[in-house]
Amino acid sequence: MVADTITLAVASHVSNILLTMARFQALTNNVLDAELEMLRKRLGLDRSQKAELLREVAGLAAWVVRQAEQGREIQARDAQNVEPLVHPALERVRARKARPVGQSLTLSDSEVERLTAVLERPFNPPAGLRAALASLAKVGRHPPKLRWKKAVAA
């Protein structure tokens, strides 16, 4: 009996969540549709021009994202009123740009100390390996500057 009550309570809780999610979904889809419809009218496009609408919106968004990637702030100015464009997506772009995944290797201080200690103890690696380890242990390690030669004919 008790188990039945619990099952019933859980089932009702789950159905409430599903109902809420469905309502949320409907609301967001409606809001999105309304926003797009508004944009379509403002951009002077017909109902049949959905592809054009998406292309133009994507073009505008791409410009905004490019500016954010270059570290530029986007503002709406009107005389003395200045309104910066703030959006979580732009924050993500900026954060990703500031610390891209997998960027050049940076060893911590303890890792550098450890590598230095390895090189100082009786360990006789080939010159190339010693140089590689020493380079990794060096603070401010730089990649080479490249000069591009003309393509070699195949």
Partner 1 sequence: MPVRIEALGPDHRPLMTGFQNQHSSLVEYLKRYALRHATKDLLARTFVAIDDAPTGPRLAGYFSLATVSVDRAAAERHPNLTRLPRFPIPGVLLARLAVDTRVQGQGLGRYLFEEALGRTLQLAKVGPVAFRLLVTDAIDATAARFYERHGLVQLSDEYPCRMVLDLRPIIEP
Q: Which stretch binds partner 1 (CB under 8 A): 24-32, 57-65, 79-87, 117-125?
A: 117-125
How far is the C-alpha of 81 from the C-alpha of 5, rounded, in Å? 60
140 lines the binding site for partner 1 (CB under 8 A): no
Phi/psi of residue 91, each to 5°? -60, -40
CB 137 within 8 A of CB 116: yes
| The binder of partner 1 chosen from 44, 71, 100, 140 (CB under 8 A) | 100
Residue 19 or 58 having the CB closest to partner 1: 58
| 105, 109, 139, 140: which one binds partner 1 (CB under 8 A) | 105
Residues contacting residue 84 through CB under 8 Å, at least 6 positions apart: 73, 74, 75, 76
148 binds partner 1 (CB under 8 A): yes
Piece of 6-14, 22-30, 58-66, 108-116 that binds partner 1 (CB under 8 A): 108-116
Query: What is the per-residue DSSP string for 45-92?
Result: --TT-HHHHHHHHHHHHHHHHHHHHTT---EEEETTEEEE---HHHHH
Positions that interact with partner 1 (CB under 8 A): 100-105, 107, 111, 114-115, 118, 123, 125-129, 132-133, 135-136, 141-152
